[in-house]
Structure formats: structure tokens, C-alpha cells
Amino acid sequence: MLKQRKSIVGLDIGSSSIKAIELTHDKFDYIITAFAQVDVPNEGARRDALADMFRAGGFRTKRISTAVSGKSVIFRYINMAQMSPDEMRNAVRFEADKYIPFDVEEVQLDTQKLMDVGGGGEGTASEMKVLLVAAKNSLVHDQAEMLIQLGLQPVSVGVDAFALGNAYELNDIVSPGLQGSDHTVALVDIGASKASINILRNNVSFFAREVPVGGQDITNAITRRFGLEAFEAEALKRDAGEQINDVQDAVAPVLDDLGNEINLSFDFFENQFEGEVQEVYLSGGSVLLPFLEEGLERIFEKRTRVWNPIEGLKVRSDNVDIDSLNSAAPQLAVAVGLAAIVG
């Protein structure tokens, strides 16, 4: 039976921490067989932190699925004439310079048809709306090369926002009925330097974007208000105690900026795709703030809740610290989604 199992590590390399989930898929189950998380004080410490993580983390496989994000990853929504998937990919390659600020030879491109638009003869649609994603080759190469130098085997380099969609879909597989497939949801992962957004309709990604506001902005607001060092502000953010009201006042402008930026994404989606976001699922390290869920729900005016992406997954308890895993769960959506390709 063991030889029928497949394993892969979903590796979320963030600006302030690294999360790794090893997911194993056998004939019947998805199982978390290893987990590790480590803080990264700066970009220069990233490689050593990864090496230490994989030496001590109890991972059984060296196969890695990771992701890139940031200003070198571009999302565009374009209308194209109806054509086959192969024709679409070729056409986008020739026309990409109209839509992205990079030379087409400098990027890796991916496309996905979202929906039919326009009216053709005999009731057929004349055009289709297409999602175009471009990531700079140098970004993808550097990430993969770092892993190879550590003796690891990168098998996939994706995009953070789409990993959220994979995790959501996996969550629905292992916990049927947890999310209905007949409505539109927004997945929002609030990391240290940015928030990733993926809007799904019927479990299909229709809109993805990154917003350059994140947990570091919240920490900076606390630092300024209380005159603290960064590490002290980070500790206060995680456990405000009796100062909770003062902390909430300090970070309110940042939450307003974040919420309003995300609302702009909702507005764009609703105008472009004639649908309404009905629910918002939050993940990422910043969702541990006790007032964040309620504050964003007020701004969105939509049902908003923190999401547990490992719900329903089995865990190999002899190799995984269950308490640490459960404590970190809201931060693991990207890592789980990256590992979900094991299925």
C-alpha cells in the first residue's frame, strides 16, 4: 500500500516567515505527514532558514510545490475571440505585450478561459473573457534554483492567489458541504507585505489580485503609536491584553486602507462578471488579530470569517506537532493549496 502513496511539500516562502506542509495522498485520504514553520528576519536569512527547516522537519519527500508573488507577477483580464485552448495560448503569446509591462520573452505566461461574452449568430457567444497571468522568468528561476541548491526538487512554481483556490477546493473535497459550490466566495490571505485575493464562482477562479497592504503595515502602525521596537510591536499585535482597545485604534487606518483596497477588487469583479461576492474567507498571519475579522466584515458588508484550510485533513500525529499545526492553521492556506496538486 505504501508504494501507492504520493507526497509533495507545499512551500509558502513569505517575506517574514516560511510555512511548509507535506501532504500525502493515498487511495482514500489526504494526510498531513509533516509540517514546519520558521520566522525569517530578513531576505538574506531565507536560504539558511529553509535548509534548517528541511533538516529538522521530518519531511519524507524532496518534491516541492512553491509559488511566487509580488510586482513581478501580473494579472490581466482580456476579451478574445472564441478559440480552442491551444489557439488561445498561442494568440496570447503574440499579443501579450499589449497587456503586460514586460517583454514577452522575459515572462512565463498562463491563461484560463473564464466565461463567454458577447452575442454571435444563432445564440452563440462571439468572444470569451480570459485571465492572463505573467510571471518574470528571473523570479521563477531564482526560486527554483535556490531549492535545487538545497537538494530539493521543485516540481511546480505557481502563484499565491491560485494556491488559495486549490486549498479551498481541497477543503470542499475532504469536508463535503463545508462550502456550497453554487455561489461566489472571496479568499483573502493577509501576509506580511501584501494581501492575495482570489474570487471563485462555482469553485472556478474568476478574479485574482495582490494588494500591497499587509501585516507589516499593522505592526508599523503599532510601532508609531506606542513608540516600540518592531519585535515589541509584533508581540503586542499577537497578544494585546488590556491594551486591545488602544491597539485597535492604532491600526484602524490600516484596516480601512486594506478593506477599501479589497472592496475595489470586489467592485471590479461585480462590474465585469455580473455577480456578487457573497462570502469572504480570511487567512494569513494577520487574521490572528482578535478584531480583524469583525473590522473587515464591517467594511465589506458581507459575511466574513477566518478559514481553517486544514479542516477535514487527516494528520500523522507521530510526526506532526498537532498543537503547533492547529495554532498555525489560519496561516497555512497557501502552503496547503500548493501541496494540493499531489492529488
The whole model's pTM is what? 0.90
Q: If residue 280 lies in a helix (H) or strand (E), which one and from where to where?
A: strand 279-283
- Reported as a pLDDT band with limits 50, 70 and 90, residue 26 is confident
- Reported as a pLDDT band with limits 50, 70 and 90, residue 2 is very low
CATH topology assigned to domain 2-70+138-178+309-342: Nucleotidyltransferase; domain 5 (3.30.420)
Long-range CB pairs of 199-206 (<8 Å, 24+ gap) are 199/265, 199/266, 199/269, 199/277, 200/165, 200/168, 201/273, 201/275, 203/165, 203/168, 203/169, 203/172, 204/114, 205/112, 205/131, 205/161, 205/162, 205/165, 206/114, 206/115, 206/131, 206/269, 206/273, 206/275
Whole-number Å distance between alpha carbons of 66 and 294: 31
| Domain map (residue ranges) of the chain | 2-70+138-178+309-342, 73-136, 210-304
The pLDDT value recorded for residue 179 is: 55
Whole-number Å distance between alpha carbons of 164 and 242: 34
The pLDDT value recorded for residue 120 is: 53
Mean pLDDT of 179-186: 72
The pLDDT value recorded for residue 124 is: 61
Whole-number Å distance between alpha carbons of 182 and 204: 11
Correct CATH for 73-136 of 3.40.250.10, 3.40.50.300, 3.40.50.1820, 3.30.1490.300: 3.30.1490.300
pLDDT in tens, 134-179: 999 999 999 999 999 999 999 999 999 999 999 999 887 665 554 5
CB neighbour burial string for 23-37, b if at least 16 within 10 angstroms, e if fewer: bbbeeeebbbbbbbb
Burial zone of 105 (CB within 10 Å; 0-12 exposed, 13-18 middle, 19+ buried): exposed
Mean pLDDT of 294-314: 95
The pLDDT value recorded for residue 272 is: 85
The pLDDT value recorded for residue 288 is: 85
Asked whether the beta carbons of 144 and 157 are under 8 A apart, the reply is yes
The pLDDT value recorded for residue 260 is: 96
> Which has the higher per-residue pLDDT, 116 or 213?
213
Q: List all residues 6 or more positions away from 92 whose beta carbon is below 8 Å from its beta carbon.
A: 80, 109, 111, 130, 132
Architecture of domain 210-304: 2-Layer Sandwich (3.30)
The pLDDT value recorded for residue 3 is: 45
For helices 215-226 and 244-273, give the axis angle rounded to 10 degrees: 150
Asked whether the beta carbons of 125 and 82 are under 8 A apart, the reply is yes
**pLDDT at residue 4 tops 60:** no
**pLDDT at residue 324 tops 80:** yes
Mean pLDDT of 202-217: 91
**pLDDT at residue 204 tops 50:** yes
The pLDDT value recorded for residue 148 is: 97
Across the chain, mean pLDDT equals: 89
The pLDDT value recorded for residue 305 is: 94
Q: Do domains 2-70+138-178+309-342 and 210-304 have the same CATH topology?
A: yes
Whole-number Å distance between alpha carbons of 135 and 103: 11
Whole-number Å distance between alpha carbons of 38 and 18: 5
Mean pLDDT of 67-85: 90
Mean pLDDT of 327-331: 95
Asked whether the beta carbons of 57 and 18 are under 8 A apart, the reply is no
pLDDT in tens, 29-46: 899 999 999 988 777 788
* 236, β-bridge pairs: none
pLDDT in tens, 92-138: 888 888 899 999 999 999 888 888 887 555 556 688 989 899 999 99
- From the list 222, 143, 190, 163, the residue with the least C-alpha distance to 288 is 190
Q: List all residues 6 or more positions away from 286 whose beta carbon is below 8 Å from its beta carbon.
A: 190, 191, 214, 215, 218, 292
pLDDT in tens, 220-268: 999 999 999 988 998 888 888 889 999 999 999 999 999 999 999 999 9
**pLDDT at residue 214 tops 90:** yes
